[in-house]
Amino acid sequence: MQIGFIGTGSMGSIIIDALLTSRSLQPSQIIAANRTLAKVELLAERHPGLVVAANNDEVVRRAEIVVVCVKPFEYRQALEQFADALTAQHVLITITSPIPLEDLAQLVPCPVVRVVPSITNAALGGMVLCEFGPQATESLRKRIYQLFSALGQPVEVTFSLLRIASDISSCGPAFLSYLLQQMIEAAVVETGISREAATFFTTQMVLGFSKLLEKEIFTLPELEARVVVPAGITGQGLIPLKEHVPGLFHEVFKRTHQKFAEDIEEVKKYLDSMKQT
Ligand SMILES: NC(=O)C1=CN([C@@H]2O[C@H](COP(=O)(O)OP(=O)(O)OC[C@H]3O[C@@H](n4cnc5c(N)ncnc54)[C@H](O)[C@@H]3O)[C@@H](O)[C@H]2O)C=CC1
Ligand SMILES: O=C(O)[C@@H]1CCC=N1
């Protein structure tokens, strides 16, 4: 079985690296194309045996599962370049959320699946969100879970949960990184600690924190309660946090949902126009 990749930018290359470093696939089982050829050539240098395709059409002709890793507004062009080569034997996977599977399914002759990765998959951790289109069978579900379990924990999400699940699982690492950088900056400015030392302490704290959660030693509220000892120092630090943070993530999720709705509307326009041609 050969797996094809269209788009080997940030996420395409993370998925390929993860499938190969986990030894789920051999490099020769992957064929990939990218608009800028140099990016795939770099991947092939890293993974000798990986097949560099000259174009998207070649990927689709040689692969059975085709993973499209381009951005929502690059889809139209990409689809136009390969849709004619798809047959009922293919499986088309999209890794981005604003492409409605029902609409995509009407444009191609094969089952369609959504697999939303997370940057955490680069360390073979975190979640892999899966949504299956109208033609997906039970055996296809099993195959997709098996393949992508190399990257992290696959979980099926319905379209109604997709946005918030992606917000937490895939956007979450960026949100957390921003918050942690704010903590580091404040430490540097308020105390004169070096950025290097503050970054080291922060990183080690997060690694330990992840282990606590992984080992299910505490739930998040239990963990907070154990650190905030009565009349202690942490409680003082939490006062400004409790003053400023509530409401913040409501705004974050309102914005991601708004952008998602706008993207879907735009995508639907071009998918509808493609249905008519
Ligand atoms: N960055 C992240 O953490 C996550 C991103 N995603 C989704 O993945 C999608 C891709 O994101 P990135 O990989 O970060 O973007 P990117 O811009 O790094 O990668 C897109 C790649 O597609 C290539 N490309 C564009 N049009 C093409 C075409 N017609 N044929 C062949 N190659 C083409 C580009 O050259 C580029 O290398 C986004 O829509 C995003 O929503 C999903 C989950 C997490
Ligand atoms: O398509 C999405 O929903 C993802 C989440 C992070 C970036 N893009």
Residue 276 has pLDDT above 80, yes or no: no
Give residue 21's pLDDT: 95
Residue 1 has pLDDT above 80, yes or no: no
How high is the ipTM of this complex? 0.97
pLDDT tens for residues 87-110?
999 999 999 999 999 999 999 999
Please report whether residue 162 resides in a domain. Answer: no
Same domain, residue pair 184 and 131 = no
- Residue 22's CB is within 10 A of a number of other CB atoms, namely 13
Asked if 157 and 129 count as a contact pair (C-beta separation under 8 A), the reply is yes
Instruction: Give strand ranges (E) for the chain.
Output: 3-6, 30-33, 51-52, 65-68, 91-94, 112-116, 127-132, 153-156
Provide Rg for the chain, Cα atoms.
22
CB-defined site of ligand 1, < 6 Å: 6-12, 33-36, 39, 56, 69-72, 74, 77-78, 81, 95-96, 116-119, 170
Domain boundary among 108, 132, 157: 157
Q: How far apart are CA 88 and CA 140, in angstroms?
A: 13
Same domain, residue pair 57 and 188 = no
Give residue 37's pLDDT: 95
Query: Residue 34 annotated as binding?
Result: no
Please report whether residue 78 resides in a domain. Answer: yes
Q: How far apart are CA 200 and CA 96, in angstroms?
A: 33
Looking at all shown ligands, the one closest to residue 56's CA atom is: 1
CB-defined site of ligand 2, < 6 Å: 96-97, 116, 166, 170-171
Domain boundary among 157, 192, 226: 157
Domain boundary among 157, 187, 205: 157
Atom of ligand 2 at shortest range from CA of 95: 1
3-state class of 65 per DSSP? strand
Same domain, residue pair 135 and 41 = yes
* Ligand 2 mean position, distance from CA 228 (Å): 35
3-state class of 154 per DSSP? strand
Give residue 138's pLDDT: 95
- Residue 270's CB is within 10 A of a number of other CB atoms, namely 16
Please report whether residue 266 resides in a domain. Answer: no
Same domain, residue pair 17 and 153 = yes
Q: Which of 8, 10, 104 to mutate to test ligand 1, by most ligand atoms within 8 A of the CB atom?
A: 10
Same domain, residue pair 16 and 138 = yes
Same domain, residue pair 200 and 132 = no
Q: For the chain, how many structural domains are there in total?
A: 2
Query: Residue 1 annotated as binding?
Result: no
Same domain, residue pair 29 and 150 = yes
Q: What is the mean pLDDT of residues 54-82?
A: 95
Looking at all shown ligands, the one closest to residue 43's CA atom is: 1
Atom of ligand 2 at shortest range from CA of 118: 6
Strand 153-156: give its sheet, edge to edge: 51-52, 30-33, 3-6, 65-68, 91-94, 112-116, 127-132, 153-156
Cβ neighbors of 128 (< 8 A, separation 6 or more) are: 115, 116, 117, 118, 121, 148, 149, 151, 152, 153, 154, 155
Q: What is the mean pLDDT of residues 46-71?
A: 97
Q: 221 lies in which domain range?
A: 171-252
Looking at all shown ligands, the one closest to residue 126's CA atom is: 1
Q: Which of 71, 101, 170 to mutate to test ligand 2, by most ligand atoms within 8 A of the CB atom?
A: 170
Which of the four pLDDT bands, split at 50, 70 and 90, describes residue 2?
confident
Residue 275 has pLDDT above 90, yes or no: no
Please report whether residue 263 resides in a domain. Answer: no
Give residue 277's pLDDT: 72
Query: Residue 56 annotated as binding?
Result: yes
* Ligand 2 mean position, distance from CA 113 (Å): 15
Please report whether residue 260 resides in a domain. Answer: no
Give residue 252's pLDDT: 98
Looking at all shown ligands, the one closest to residue 162's CA atom is: 2
Same domain, residue pair 74 and 181 = no
pLDDT tens for residues 151-183?
999 999 999 999 999 999 999 999 999 999 999
Which CATH number fits the domain that encloses residue 96?
3.40.50.720
Atom of ligand 1 at shortest range from CA of 97: 41
Closest Cα to atom 17 of ligand 1: 9
Same domain, residue pair 78 and 119 = yes
Q: How far apart are CA 196 and CA 173, in angstroms?
A: 21
Cβ neighbors of 120 (< 8 A, separation 6 or more) are: 126, 127, 152, 169, 173
